[in-house]
């Protein structure tokens, strides 16, 4: 194997990738695209950094980004790439893999090197199982955010590199930042999570009050954030949200489909409140209460 | 302009049982990926507005012919299927090649839609592979699509913001699950679905070489061990007492 290359447009995630890459090889090559501060950070964390500046290269043009990285891989003779499994990284993963004739695994939560194999752990069957897989041949592996610590300070280098990119058929017209929600449900010791059993947005205040009384954070199932838009996507537990391991999770009105439970199964204690006696979530719970969640929240807020 | 919607047949995840930590797939019925249905709905809405045809494209085993009827009932006009038992469980590099080759056989394609991830694997790589194979621009994680003649304005919804993209057609787009609410077909639509045109090919009808592709090897695929107490509590007091005993409140 000839080296490992890492790339993420997100600086924090790129630094995590350096740590992941060091499990494979000590010397890590990193790429920055039209981003000097990223190049500085990568070199500052010990990576041999190839800095690309090209006006035709737009991060929103996945094809152009893949073409640029392919040229770096060819020049450096590298056939293993680690990307971040955020949305940009996942979108890029398949395209880059196709461009270099590689196999591709995304949403990888851990890698383990066994001889020449890089075994990757990832959720399968919607999260019902955890698969361990490796790629034979060139590889593109996208690592789920926060699976590795950011790399500490090191002595890297920066080299400029020229690539050829055709003018893009893609134009970024605008970027509208999402209203920030700085909550970190992955770090919370106690989570009070609500699902579609919650009757209306107005009831969220009681949920927040309960979480505050317990010293925890409010979290939710995916539809509460993406369909109803009652809470930010930062608070989603599950396959396409966060993987949490609190001491206590109180789950209110959540049915317990695998894409949700995969994000909470590492909790130490789980209590589930659901009107349905046979809800799937009950198999995942230590304490099961068949009741209307609104009554339960009210009573808990009174008693705590 | 025609719109191709690539849809994947997956096992109905709600019906998979775990025995000795292994998933039991025997007898589990097939379904279309949930987010693929959002992609179909997006296509049908565009068609209703601007005309053209919606062609559902799927590659898999023989059962796909039956599974895909749901898409024909929900608004697709035609199905283009590549059926071969070898395609069952095929990985992204194989599926990408097969779908790209099939799309080349469909005329006047302006838009190729995918879901952001399949319901089972959620790996999200096939759409990107197809875009690369066809040399087309792509936009992932779309939360809105607006078509104007020969271009589209698409919102790519990222973790920290929405990126508004203008792109020339044809383009490959993968949609997010919240882009729309897929329609539920009526009984008449379901009955009519079987009579809609279908083109069925086998792998050997496509001029592709599937040898020498990178391979994904699965070492193990097990359900995590769960060991939950599953104690029923009858009142809030009982619940609080239990949580105190656990030392978590
Ligand atoms: C590729 C993919 C990725 C996904 N990723 C995620 C993910 O990361 N996270 C996620 O959560 N989902 C995810 N999903 C969606 C997932 O499949 C489920 O649709 C979702 O988790 C269901 O949310 P829910 O339990 O809140 O809603 P529902 O399934 O509608 O359940 C609501 C529950 O509330 C109960 N209830 C109703 N009224 C009351 C009441 N008054 N009191 C108490 N209980 C009540 C009902 O009995 C029911 O059990 C994903 C799906 C796909 C296809």
- Tell me, what's the ipTM? 0.95
> What CATH number does the domain containing A87 carry?
3.40.50.620
Alpha-carbon distance values, B54 to A303, B41, B106 (Å): 57, 10, 11
Domain check: are A148 and A296 in the same one? no
pLDDT in tens, B168-197: 999 999 999 999 999 999 999 999 999 999
Q: Measured in whole angstroms, how far is the alpha carbon of residue A165 from the centre of its chain?
A: 29
> What CATH number does the domain containing B14 carry?
3.40.50.620
- Whether residue A171 lies inside any domain: the answer is no
CA nearest neighbour of A118 among B223, B214, B217: B217
Q: How far apart are the first and last CA of chain B?
A: 60
- How many angstroms separate the CA of residue A155 from the nearest CA in chain B? 31
Helix or strand (DSSP H, E) at A212: helix A204-214
- Whether residue B132 lies inside any domain: the answer is yes
Calpha distance B7→B62 (Å, rounded):
15
Chain B positions touching A303 (Cβ under 8 A) are: 236-237, 240
Length of chain B: 249
What tokens appear for A47 in the block? 């990576």
Domain holding A95, by residue range, is 4-161
What tokens appear for A22 in the block? 């060091």
pLDDT in tens, A230-276: 999 999 999 999 999 999 999 999 999 999 999 999 999 999 999 99
Domain check: are A121 and A34 in the same one? yes
pLDDT band at A41 (very low <50, low <70, confident <90, very high): very high
Residue contact A98–B236, C-beta within 8 A: no
What tokens appear for B75 in the block? 């608004």
Tell me phi and psi for residue A128, to 5 degrees.
-65, -30
- Range in A300-304, B111-115, B223-227 the model is least confident about: B223-227
Instruction: Report whether pLDDT(A168) > 90.
Output: no
Alpha-carbon distance values, B79 to A223, B4, B5, B33, B168 (Å): 30, 9, 10, 16, 25
Atom of ligand 1 minimally distant from the CA of A280: 49
Q: Measured in whole angstroms, how far is the alpha carbon of residue A237 from the centre of its chain?
A: 11
Domain check: are A153 and A228 in the same one? no
* Number of separate domains in chain B: 1
Domain holding B71, by residue range, is 2-219
> What CATH number does the domain containing A267 carry?
3.40.50.1220
Crossing angle (nearest 10°) for helices A87-100 and B126-134: 50
Instruction: Report whether pLDDT(B125) > 70.
Output: yes
What tokens appear for A10 in the block? 């997100």
- Whether residue B245 lies inside any domain: the answer is no
- Whether residue B99 lies inside any domain: the answer is yes
Domain check: are A55 and A128 in the same one? yes
CB atoms within 10 A of CB A184: 12
- Whether residue A263 lies inside any domain: the answer is yes
Chain B positions touching A137 (Cβ under 8 A) are: 213-215
Q: Which of B8, B14, B34, B126 to mutate to test the pocket of ligand 1 (most atoms within 8 A of CB)?
A: B34
CB atoms within 10 A of CB B187: 8
- Whether residue A174 lies inside any domain: the answer is no
Atom of ligand 1 minimally distant from the CA of A241: 8
A259 lines ligand 1 (CB under 6 A): yes
- Whether residue B229 lies inside any domain: the answer is no
Q: Can you name the residues that pair with A158 across neighbouring β-strands?
A: A49
Chain B positions touching A181 (Cβ under 8 A) are: none
DSSP state, residue A164: -
Domain check: are A236 and A104 in the same one? no
- Whether residue A170 lies inside any domain: the answer is no
- Whether residue A179 lies inside any domain: the answer is no
Domain check: are A238 and A152 in the same one? no
Instruction: Report whether pLDDT(A1) > 60.
Output: no
What tokens appear for B38 in the block? 């959002």
Domain check: are A68 and A199 in the same one? no
- Whether residue A203 lies inside any domain: the answer is yes
Mean pLDDT of the region A191-204: 97
Examine residue A248 and say whether the peptide bond preceding it is cis (omega within 30 degrees of 0).
no
- Whether residue B56 lies inside any domain: the answer is yes
B185 lines ligand 1 (CB under 6 A): no
Q: Give the model's pLDDT for residue A179.
A: 81
For residues B113-131, one letter each, b for 16 or more C-beta atoms within 10 angstroms of the residue's C-beta and e for the rest, the string is: bbbbbbbbbbbbbbbbbbb
Mean pLDDT of the region B27-37: 94
Q: What is the mean pLDDT of chain A?
A: 96
Domain stop point among A145, A161, A177: A161
* Number of separate domains in chain A: 2
């Amino acid at each position: 194997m000839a080296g490992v290359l890492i790339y993420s447009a997100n600086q924090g995630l790129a630094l995590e990738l350096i740590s992941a890459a060091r499990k494979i090889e000590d010397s890590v090559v990193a790429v920055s695209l039209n981003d000097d501060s990223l190049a500085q950070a990568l070199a500052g964390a010990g990576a041999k950094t190839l800095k690309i500046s090209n006006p035709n290269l737009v991060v929103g043009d996945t094809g152009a980004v893949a073409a640029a990285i392919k040229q770096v891989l060819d020049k450096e003779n590298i056939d293993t790439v680690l990307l971040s499994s955020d949305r940009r990284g996942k979108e890029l993963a398949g395209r880059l893999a196709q461009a270099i004739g590689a196999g591709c695994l995304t949403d990888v939560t851990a890698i383990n090197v066994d001889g020449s194999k890089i075994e990757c752990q990832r959720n399968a069957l919607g999260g019902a199982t955890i698969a361990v897989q490796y790629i034979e041949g060139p590889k593109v592996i996208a690592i789920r955010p926060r699976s590795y610590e950011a790399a500490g300070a090191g002595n890297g280098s920066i080299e400029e590199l020229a690539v050829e990119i055709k003018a893009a058929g893609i134009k970024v017209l605008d970027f509208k930042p999402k209203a920030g929600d700085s909550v970190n449900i992955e770090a919370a010791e106690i989570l009070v999570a609500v699902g579609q059993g919650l009757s209306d947005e107005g009831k969220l205040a009681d949920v927040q009050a309960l979480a505050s009384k317990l010293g925890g954070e409010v979290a939710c199932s995916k539809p509460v954030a993406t369909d109803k838009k009652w809470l930010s996507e930062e608070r989603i537990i599950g396959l396409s949200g966060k993987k949490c391991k609190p001491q206590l999770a109180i789950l209110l009105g959540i049915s317990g489909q695998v894409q949700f439970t995969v994000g909470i199964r590492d909790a130490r204690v789980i209590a589930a409140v659901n009107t349905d006696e046979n809800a799937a979530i009950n198999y995942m719970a230590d304490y099961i209460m068949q009741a209307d969640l609104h009554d339960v929240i009210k009573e808990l807020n009174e008693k705590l | 302009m025609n719109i191709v919607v690539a849809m994947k047949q997956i096992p109905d995840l709600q019906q998979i049982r775990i025995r000795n930590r292994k998933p039991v797939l025997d007898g589990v019925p097939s379904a279309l990926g949930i987010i693929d249905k959002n992609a179909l709905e997006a296509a049908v809405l565009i068609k209703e507005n601007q005309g053209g045809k919606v062609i559902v494209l799927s590659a898999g085993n023989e059962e796909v012919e039956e599974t895909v009827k749901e898409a024909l009932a929900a608004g697709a006009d035609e199905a283009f299927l590549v059926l071969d038992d070898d395609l069952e469980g095929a990985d992204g590099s194989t599926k990408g090649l097969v779908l790209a080759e099939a799309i080349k056989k469909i005329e006047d394609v302006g838009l190729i839609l995918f879901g952001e991830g399949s319901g089972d694997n959620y790996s999200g790589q096939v759409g990107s592979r197809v875009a690369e194979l066809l040399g087309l621009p792509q936009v992932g994680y779309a939360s809105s699509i607006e078509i104007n003649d020969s271009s589209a304005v698409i919102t790519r919804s990222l973790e920290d913001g929405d990126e508004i993209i203008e792109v020339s057609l044809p383009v490959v787009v993968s949609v997010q699950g919240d882009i729309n609410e897929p329609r539920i077909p009526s009984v008449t639509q379901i009955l009519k679905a079987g009579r809609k045109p279908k083109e069925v090919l086998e792998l050997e009808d496509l001029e592709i070489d599937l040898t020498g592709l990178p391979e994904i090897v699965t070492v193990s695929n097990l359900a995590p061990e769960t060991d939950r107490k599953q104690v029923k509590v009858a009142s809030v007091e009982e619940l609080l007492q239990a949580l105190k005993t656990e030392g978590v409140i």
